[in-house]
Amino acid sequence: MKKILLLVLLTIFNFAVGKSQICTPDSTMKGTGISPTVLPDGIIGQAYAVTVSLRVPKDSTIVYAGSTIPITVDSARVIYISNLPDTSFKYSCNSPTCTWAGGSFGCARLTGMPKSTHKNTYAVKVFVNSWLSSPSLPGTQFERIDSSTIDFKIPGGVNSVGELNSKLFFIASPNPANDRVFVYGLEINLNANYSMELTDVAGKTIQNFEPKAFGDIFEINLSDVSKGIYFLRISDNDKSGYQKLVIE
């Protein structure tokens, strides 16, 4: 059950949606959970905005009166998030109440402005309320509140405007990934000449990629890469950026 809530949990933390269409759920997600599961670092002095997609589980099991019984997740709702850097960091969901039905797709977006006083690693705690029912116990609905902690880091600021302008910012999703990963947030134009490589934690290049572009999204094939923890590095002329990537 805790897994169920953790999915929605991480989900909500990364989302920020206004009354208008702020984000669009990724309806191509396979299985349940959230994407991405690792938040990119905040950069001091640069507006932060991250979109996360999720899919709430539909079925699971719980232990009731000493027996394991199948349950249906009727809905799940994020009710509270604590330990964000300050009140300038907001989250909103594509659902006005941050509630999603079991088996449905959703998304949210987290926005804020990292400051020099925010330099830290934050153990952000998210509380989720889920409503469950069971075919074995008709007419009975279970309600459960779970919490989980995720890390969000705002490292030291860049040394100059020139250093800031030399960085590429992107999101790789899903993360953890299996046989492929999608890269969002890069500009697609005739002048862009992106090179993409995977390195190990020691900085050694494991593989170079020639990704497929679908509009403003790149698809990277990971089928030949072993399971492990890596860094995805993307460069374009004098700009570069990287993101931690877990392959399962």
Amino acid sitting at position 160: S
Q: What is the per-residue pLDDT for 8?
A: 41
Residue 25 shares a structural domain with residue 115: yes
Residue 203 DSSP code: S
Residue 107 shares a structural domain with residue 190: no
Q: What is the per-residue pLDDT for 101?
A: 92
Residue 168 shares a structural domain with residue 133: no
Residue where one domain finishes, among candidates 113, 137, 154: 154
Q: What is the per-residue pLDDT for 14?
A: 42
Residue where one domain finishes, among candidates 107, 128, 154: 154
Q: What is the per-residue pLDDT for 169?
A: 72
Residue 147 shares a structural domain with residue 180: no
Residue 85 shares a structural domain with residue 112: yes
Amino acid sitting at position 90: K
At 2 the three-state DSSP class reads: helix
Q: What is the per-residue pLDDT for 228?
A: 87
183 touches 211 (CB < 8 A): yes
Residue 116 shares a structural domain with residue 23: yes
CATH number where 228 lies: 2.60.40.1930
CATH number where 69 lies: 2.60.40
Q: What is the per-residue pLDDT for 2?
A: 41
Q: What is the per-residue pLDDT for 156?
A: 62
Residue 142 shares a structural domain with residue 169: no
Residue 128 shares a structural domain with residue 28: yes
Residue 177 DSSP code: B
Range of the structural domain that residue 51 is part of: 2-154
Q: What is the per-residue pLDDT for 36?
A: 65
Residue where one domain finishes, among candidates 121, 137, 154: 154
Count of alpha carbons within 13 angstroms of residue 72, beta-carbon side: 13
How many independent structural domains does the chain possess?
2
Residue 149 shares a structural domain with residue 168: no
Spatial CA neighbour of 38 closest among 52, 28, 25, 27: 52
Bond into 176 cis (ω within 30): yes
Residue 53 shares a structural domain with residue 150: yes
Residue 125 shares a structural domain with residue 54: yes
Spatial CA neighbour of 234 closest among 246, 225, 243: 243
118 touches 21 (CB < 8 A): no
Digitized pLDDT (tens) for each residue of the chain, 248 residues in all: 444 443 443 444 443 333 446 778 888 877 777 666 667 788 888 888 877 777 888 887 777 778 888 888 899 887 777 778 888 888 888 888 989 898 888 887 888 888 888 888 877 776 777 888 888 777 777 787 776 666 778 876 444 344 444 566 777 878 888 888 888 777 655 456 778 888 887 678 888 887 777 666 788 888 888 888 888 888 877 777 778 888 88
209 touches 194 (CB < 8 A): no
Residue 147 shares a structural domain with residue 174: no
